[in-house]
Structure 1
Amino acid sequence: MRRKVKEENIRKVYKKSGSYGITIPIEIIKELKIKEGQKLAIKRKASKIIISDWKK
């Protein structure tokens, strides 16, 4: 049986080549069917970061 994605996942921010990043749990990647190289839109709403599929 597959584990369900927990309501909260804690991740550390890392720095690489002048940019910052975080990892996304594999359970979320699989559930949302995100593929390597896929473009994602990132926006800020108040104190939250929203990541969504990029639409042309």
Structure 2
Amino acid sequence: MRRVIIGIAGPPGSGKSTVAELLVDVLRARGMRAVAVPMDGFHLSDAVLDNLGRKDRKGAP
């Protein structure tokens, strides 16, 4: 089995997460293993994430 990594880039609110979820659904429907790994908040510092109450989500799928 071959492993493929697909990156989706775009400005905030452009539908990246929606496209990623649809892609995962299509791939799974075709019998492939697929997962979306969100990067939201990854670019924020731990201090900022602490203030937002989201540090525990950093790097979480």
Q: What TM-score, normalized by structure 2, do the two folds share? A: 0.24
Query: Which protein is richer in strand relative to its size?
Result: 1
Query: Which protein is richer in helix relative to its size?
Result: 2
Higher RCO by CA contacts (8 Å cutoff, separation 6 or greater): 2
Q: What TM-score, normalized by structure 1, do the two folds share? A: 0.25
